[in-house]
Amino acid sequence: MQLTLSVLKADVGSIGGHTRPSAAMVESARQRIREAIDHGLIIDGFVGTTGDDIALILSHGRGSGNSEVHQFAWHAFLAATDIAAHAGLYGAGQDLLVDAPSGNIRGAGPAVAEMTFEHHPVNDNRNRPAESFMVFAADKCGPGAYNLPLFLGFADPMYCAGLMLPKMADGFTFRIIDMDHTDGDSVLELSAPEDYYHLTALLRDNERFGIERIMRRDGEPAAAVSAQRLHNIAGTYTGKDDPVALVRNQGIFPAPEELLSPFAKAHYVGGGARGSHVMPMMPVALHTPVTGMYCIPVISCIGFSVDVEGRFASDHVDFFDNPAWDEVRRKAMERAMIIRDQGWSGAAMLPYAEIEYGGFRDTITGLVKRFETHKDGNGARRTRRSKRNGSPRKMVSARSR
Ligand code: 13P
Ligand code: MG
Ligand code: MG
C-alpha cells in the first residue's frame, strides 16, 4: 500500500505565556483523532506537544498534501484555539494565519512535514522488512534548526557510521529550499558525498536555506522537514517557525543513534527570546514546557513503529527522555549562559534583517531616521531630516561655526 505520514504542528495558545498548551487543548485534539480514525479518514494518529506547540502525527492512505487530511488538522487546531481563547490563554490561534484556507494548509501558518512511500513491511522485503520513523519537534527555533544535525546524520560518517556500509555508501540527496523566495518553492537538489562542500555553503545559513527533504539515490524518501518562514507567510512576525521533521530510520536509513548524536552538540540556533536571540538547542522529553532563560530552544524526538496496516505500535519511544541526555541538557544551559553573557552584542542576537519582532525593527528604523549626514571639507555642511516635514535641511556644522 501507499502510506503517507503527515506531521502538522501549530501554536494555538498556551498557559502563563508561551510555555505549553493546556491539557484540555491536547485532549480535544486527541478526541478528534479518535473520531477521524473511526470515520476512516486516517489510519492512526498521535498528539504530542513540544513547548507551546501541538503536533498531530498521522498515518493515512490519502497521499501528501491531501485536502481532507489538512482540513481535519486545521479544524482540530481551530477547536483547540477556541478552548485556549475561552480560558484566556496566551496567543490563542497564533499560527492560524489565514481565515479559512481551502484544501492543503501548507503556507497557512501550521508547520507541515509529509512523506508518502510504498509500505509493505514483510520479512522478504529486502529494503524495508519493518517501518520505523522519528518525529522531531523544535520550539523557539528558526526554520533551519535541523540543517546541521540532519546533514551530519545523513552525510557525515563521523556521526553516521552506516554511510560506510554497502547499503548506504551511495549517500543521500538533499533538497534545499530557499526560504527567502516567497513566490512558489525555490529548491535545489544536491547530493553527498559529491556536493558535500556546496551543501555546507548553503546550509550554513539557517535563516535562508533549509533542508526540505532527504532522499536515497533511488528516490526513496528518507526525511521531510517543514522548512518555511512564518514571517514570510504572514508578512510580519507572528511567532517563531518552530520546525518539525519526519525521519525514517534503520536498515537502508541511518539508525536512531546516528540521527540523534548531532544533537549532543546543543548547537546554537536563531530563535530564543522574542524570536531574535541566538541560543543553544536543548533536547527534552515530549510535553516539556518552555520555561528556561531567554526561552532556551527545545527539541523533542519520538519514535514509532508501523504495522502492516499502517497503524502505530501501541507505545512510542521518547528518545530524549533518558538520563543519557542529562549531560547534554547541562551543556546546553552552560552554552546558553555563555552566549547570554554577551547580551545584545553582535553574534548573541540575530542580525537586523532576521530579527523577528516588529518592535526591534521599529526602534531601529526610528533611530536611523534621526541620523545626520556630515560632509567634511570646505564649506562643510550637514543635513538632517526636519522633524516637522521629514525633508532634509542644511545645517552649519559645529566645526565650521
Ligand atoms: P512561539 O512561536 O513559540 O510562540 O515563540 C515566540 C517567541 O519567539 C518566544 O520568544
Ligand atoms: Mg507561542
Ligand atoms: Mg512555539
Q: Is 218 a catalytic residue?
A: no
Is 233 within a domain?
yes
Is 8 within a domain?
yes
Q: What per-residue confidence (pLDDT) applies to 389?
A: 44
Q: Is 240 a catalytic residue?
A: yes
Q: pLDDT, tens digit, for every residue of 146-172?
A: 999 999 999 999 999 999 999 999 999
Q: What per-residue confidence (pLDDT) applies to 169?
A: 97
- Residues in Cβ contact with 41 at an 8 Å cutoff, skipping those fewer than 6 apart: 60, 62, 68, 69, 72
Best of 11, 95, 96, 293 for a ligand 1 pocket test (most atoms within 8 Å of beta carbon): 11
Answer yes or no: is the C-beta of 11 below 6 A from any ligand 1 atom: yes
Is 399 within a domain?
no
Which residues sit opposite 356 in a β-bridge? none
Q: pLDDT, tens digit, for every residue of 263-305?
A: 999 999 999 998 899 999 999 999 999 999 999 999 999 999 9
Q: pLDDT, tens digit, for every residue of 293-338?
A: 999 999 999 999 999 999 999 999 999 999 999 999 999 999 999 9
Percentage above 90 pLDDT, the chain: 81
Q: What per-residue confidence (pLDDT) applies to 383?
A: 52
Answer yes or no: is the C-beta of 18 below 6 A from any ligand 1 atom: yes
Q: Please say whether the beta carbons of 333 and 281 come within 8 A.
A: no
Q: Please say whether the beta carbons of 92 and 277 come within 8 A.
A: no
What is the mean predicted confidence (pLDDT) over 232-249?
84
Q: What per-residue confidence (pLDDT) applies to 329?
A: 98
Give the Å distance between the CA of 305 and the centre of ligand 3: 27
What is d(CA 181, CA 129) in angstroms, rounded to the nearest whole number?
40
Closest CA to 296 of 46, 26, 51: 51
Is 54 within a domain?
yes
Q: pLDDT, tens digit, for every residue of 48-99?
A: 999 999 999 999 999 999 999 999 999 999 999 999 999 999 999 999 999 8
What is the mean predicted confidence (pLDDT) over 221-235?
84
What is the mean predicted confidence (pLDDT) over 174-181?
94
Torsion, Cα 349 350 356 360, to 10 degrees, reads 50
Is 226 within a domain?
yes
Please give the DSSP secondary-structure letter assigned to residue 290: -
Is 394 within a domain?
no
Domain containing residue 113: 2-354
- What is the number of domains present in the chain? 1
What is the mean predicted confidence (pLDDT) over 32-42?
98
Catalytic-labelled residue, pool 44, 52, 139, 240: 240
User: How far, in whole angstroms, is CA 129 from its chain's centroid?
Assistant: 30
Is 335 within a domain?
yes
- pLDDT tier at 386 (50, 70, 90 boundaries)? very low
Is 372 within a domain?
no
